[in-house]
Amino acid sequence: MPEDWKKANVTLTLMKGNEEDEESYRLINLISTPGKVMALILLETKYIKDKKVMGSSQHGFTKQKSRLTNLIASYNEKTSFTGSQRCPVR
């Protein structure tokens, strides 16, 4: 991520209480919109990878898999049932 996207403008906002008391203020970090979007994408990607949200049969938008690998897997699955009486419907 570019350094400018990581920078934030910090501002103080008065919560309830005395204006002279520093504990009455809350810090708010205002980061850039592209920085927020990139951070969300990275966090979501990390979550999906760490929690193994997608099954092994997921081929679209998956590293080292494509529509072609999906077709090959589907073909192999269907042809493995040629000798049996029932073929699963998907």
Q: Check residues 23 and 69 and name the one with the higher pLDDT.
A: 23
Looking at the predicted structure, is the pLDDT value of residue 21 above 80?
Answer: yes
| C-beta of residue 60 within 8 angstroms of C-beta of residue 67 | yes
Q: Where exactly are the structural domains of the chain? A: 1-52, 55-83
The Cα 87–Cα 85 span in angstroms is: 7
Q: Check residues 41 and 52 and name the one with the higher pLDDT.
A: 41
Model confidence at 19, pLDDT cuts 50, 70, 90, reads confident
Which has the closest alpha carbon to 81: 9, 90, 62?
90
Q: Check residues 30 and 77 and name the one with the higher pLDDT.
A: 30
